[in-house]
Structure 1
Amino acid sequence: MEKDLLEIQVKHLDNVLKESDPNRFELLEKEFALAYTCDAVGMCDKKITLEDVKRINKTKVLPDFSEREQKEILNHLNAFEYVKQEVHDNKPFTEEFVKDIHEKLVADIFPGGVYRNVNISIFGAAHQPPDHVKVYARMARFFNTLEQFEGSEVELATYAHASIAKIHPFVDANGRLAKLVLNYFLIKFGYLPISIPLVQMDEYIKYLEVFKVEKDLQPLTKFFKSLLIKRYDAVLNALDI
């Protein structure tokens, strides 16, 4: 039922956009990018508000925040624009592309795009990232599995996201990277990009842990589908449909 509703919404929006003012939809997408950045960066620092993101996007400076916090916000906005442009240009999903996204996320903070050479842990998580010596092999297996993936498009996007989050290939910014990977595939497959609201972070983490521990992708896929449905509802309502 959810899938049917989602596909109906996709077709509905496609038809609406043919008749509506493109500037209105473009404005909605700009507003989404700001809210998405607030959610993505806010998962690590809950002090950041949507107004903060709007302000730094306009002025490029947030005096009340550290230099790193400011760069993380601006970098995420830049990385999201990069991902959207690369989808538009039919950029293939490769290891180098993943490293490029990561490099943009951490630009002027620390050298990005380099797999970690230390072990890391996630506080409170049932599953911990693999030993750093296994990262290269795990990433190679991930790309190989992705090429042979036989599920739906939303399932593939979910699998790509969850796998990056599980491997945690870099020292930092893996969560933001995994969410950008999710949206790369959603946009590529003709869907709207989505954001994981901070108020649903615990729910998201629960379903992600199910995949990490039990290798069951369905709860997280269902969660992302529900976010997609809400996103389409919001856009259609904003367009007064």
Structure 2
Amino acid sequence: MNTQNLDILKSRLDAHRPLPPEVVKNLREDLSVRWTYNSNAIEGNTLTLQETKVVLEGITVGGKSIVEHLEAINHAQAINLVYDLAEQGELLSVHAIKEIHSLILKSIDDKNAGAFRTVNVTISGAEHVPPSFLNIQDEMDSFMNWCEGDGTSLHVVECTARGHVDFVKIHPFADGNGRTARLLMNLELMKGGFPPVVFQASERLAYYEGLEDACVKSDYESFLETTERLVVDSFKPYWFALGLSKEGL
């Protein structure tokens, strides 16, 4: 991972901060739609990008289920919470993780929203088998200790990418782990001064393959490469909004 290049891009954006309020508003609105659409589509939601946009504007889309509507609305609300948490800049906590997850499943599965799973689960089509529910608390304690300890020695982008994988590997919730992991990843990226990234639904297979390699073989290379590319791409809307070249110059 070329972290030096990532830091150069960040420093170029930092030179323009604080960004004009109208630029921030426009970028955030656009990102919320794209982030919500792609993250939900990765998990099987059939709303298109434009349908997601109108649902977030309060319009019902014919032929789509109530659950799919709620998934879009809930995810956008979770994004707002992530922005608030990023602005507060506090250390990641189990409480914050559960709060984010609670929004993801709100009015869809209130029993499990914000609660660690009490059953064993399998991941459809995956070789990796998440740990027993009896070990979830210990696994999450270790995860949080890593985030607060060894993880801090890594570049923020590498730390968030590895954290994303390790969270999915634990699969602490009965449902909504992928969406929560992507929200948590962007929370930590924003706290580190980087723009949020959007994993593309069109690259769903590669995304899952990268997670599988990391979870089963402890081979993080593919996932780290994907993350690095997405972080570079995440700066491009800012360059466009600011009237700069694609390199931010």
Q: Do the aligned partners of 1:60 and 1:74 also contact (CA within 8 Å) in 2?
A: no
Shift of 1:46: 4.9
How many percent of aligned residue pairs carry the same amino acid?
Answer: 26
Q: Structure 2 length normalisation: TM-score?
A: 0.90
2:13 counterpart residue number: 13
Confirm whether residue 225 of structure 1 aligns to residue 224 of structure 2.
no
How far 1:26 moved relative to its partner?
A: 2.1
Q: Does 1:178 align with 2:181?
A: yes
- Root mean square deviation, CA, Å: 1.7
Report how far residue 215 of structure 1 moved. 2.0
Q: For the residues of structure 1 that align with 2:205 and 2:238, how far apart are their CA atoms? A: 25
Distance in 1, Cα, partners of 2:44 & 2:210? 21
State the AA in 1 paired with 2:220: L
Q: May I ask how many residue pairs the two structures share in their alignment? A: 240
| Structure 2 partner of 1:94 | 93
Q: Structure 1 residue 27 and structure 2 residue 30: aligned?
A: no
Give how far 1:5 is off.
Answer: 2.4
Alpha-carbon distance between aligned partners in 1 of 2:91 and 2:9, rounded to the nearest angstrom: 27
User: 1:157·1:186 contact (CA, 8 Å) conserved in 2?
Assistant: yes
| Structural mapping, 1:19-98, within 5 Å | 21-98=20-97
- State the distance in 2 between where 1:89 and 1:146 align: 18
Supply the distance in 2 between the matched residues of 1:235 and 1:148 (Cα, whole angstroms).
32
**Range with bigger deviation, 105-114 or 179-188:** 105-114
1:192: how far off?
Answer: 0.2
TM-score, with structure 1 as normaliser: 0.93
Distance in 2 between residues matched to 1:7 and 1:145, nearest whole Å: 23
Question: 1:56-109: per-residue Cα shift (whole Å, max 9, x none)?
Answer: 111253343211111111000000110110111223311111111110111111
- Counterparts of 1:193 and 1:116 in 2: how far apart (Å)? 28
CA contact (8 A) 2:211 2:223 kept: yes
Q: Classify the secondary structure of the residue corresponding to 1:123.
A: coil
Partner residue, 1:108? 107
Deviates more, 1:220-229 or 1:8-17: 8-17
8 Å Cα contact 2:156/2:192 also seen in 1: yes
> Would the aligned equivalents of 2:71 and 2:105 in 1 still touch at CA under 8 Å?
yes
- Residues of 1 paired with 2:194 and 2:148: CA distance? 20
Structure-2 residue corresponding to 1:3: 3
2:23 and 2:241 in contact (8 A); partners too: no
Q: Which runs of 5+ in 2 are unaligned?
A: 245-249
Whether the 8 Å contact between 2:45 and 2:68 is mirrored in structure 1 is no
Give the drift of 1:11: 1.4
Of 81-90 and 212-221, the range deviating more from structure 2? 212-221
Corresponding position: 1:123 with 2:124: yes
Partner in structure 2 of residue 144 of structure 1:
145
The one-character-per-residue Cα deviations of 1:169-211 (angstroms, maximum 9, x if unpaired) are 1111010000001001000100000110111111111111121
